[in-house]
Amino acid sequence: MIKKNKVVSMSYCLKNTKGEELDRADTDKPLDYLHGGGNIVPGLENALEGLKIGDKKEVTVEPEDGYGEILTDLKMEIERKAFPADQKIAPGMQFMAELSDGKKHPFNVVEIKEDKVHVDGNHPLAGQTLQFSVEIMKIRDATPEELKHGHAHGEGGHHH
């Protein structure tokens, strides 16, 4: 049964409310995650608690239990000259920047207009209601190393 500190292999399909597919992991290439480790969005993790191998479930995750609401504070215009002059900047590029609380946060370049770079630090799925179709394929105990790292290792998990 899925509970804290189990490593779960699952296949899933993620769609938005319009039925458009956003992401998937097929049964021949499932995703492995450490349950209770915050490796997947909280709304999905909570919904999978107690499931068994072979169980299938449809899970709807609202933004607050998914990737959060869109924060306008994370949409910013930065002067081009704030970036190193020899650094190439293009839409879709990601970089890390420090927030006012000192935490590092990933930002994506949205567009470049003259001397301004428009960036967005919201997750691409922020503000979206997520619809997961999940099938549980394997459940096993996490290894001590996985517990220490806080994520699953191996084929569908984390690689070092």
CB of 151 to Zn ion, least distance (A): 6
CB of 144 to Zn ion, least distance (A): 11
User: Interacting stretch for Zn ion, rule CB under 5 A, among 68-76, 101-109, 131-139, 152-160?
Assistant: 152-160
Distance CA 52, CA 49 (A): 9
Q: Residues 6 or more apart from 114 whose CB is under 8 A from it?
A: 80
Minimum CB distance to Zn ion smaller for 7 or for 125: 7
User: Interacting stretch for Zn ion, rule CB under 5 A, among 3-11, 36-44, 81-89, 145-153?
Assistant: 145-153
Distance CA 51, CA 44 (A): 12
57 binds Zn ion (CB under 5 A): no
| Closest residue to Zn ion, based on beta-carbon distance | 149
Burial of residue 22 (CB within 10 Å: 0-12, 13-18, 19+) is: middle
Distance CA 85, CA 107 (A): 19
147 binds Zn ion (CB under 5 A): no
If one counts every other C-beta atom within 10 angstroms of the C-beta of residue 120, the result is 18
Cα 126 to chain center, whole Å? 10
149 binds Zn ion (CB under 5 A): yes
Minimum CB distance to Zn ion smaller for 106 or for 150: 150
Minimum CB distance to Zn ion smaller for 39 or for 128: 39
Minimum CB distance to Zn ion smaller for 56 or for 140: 140
Residues that bind Zn ion (CB under 5 A): 149, 158
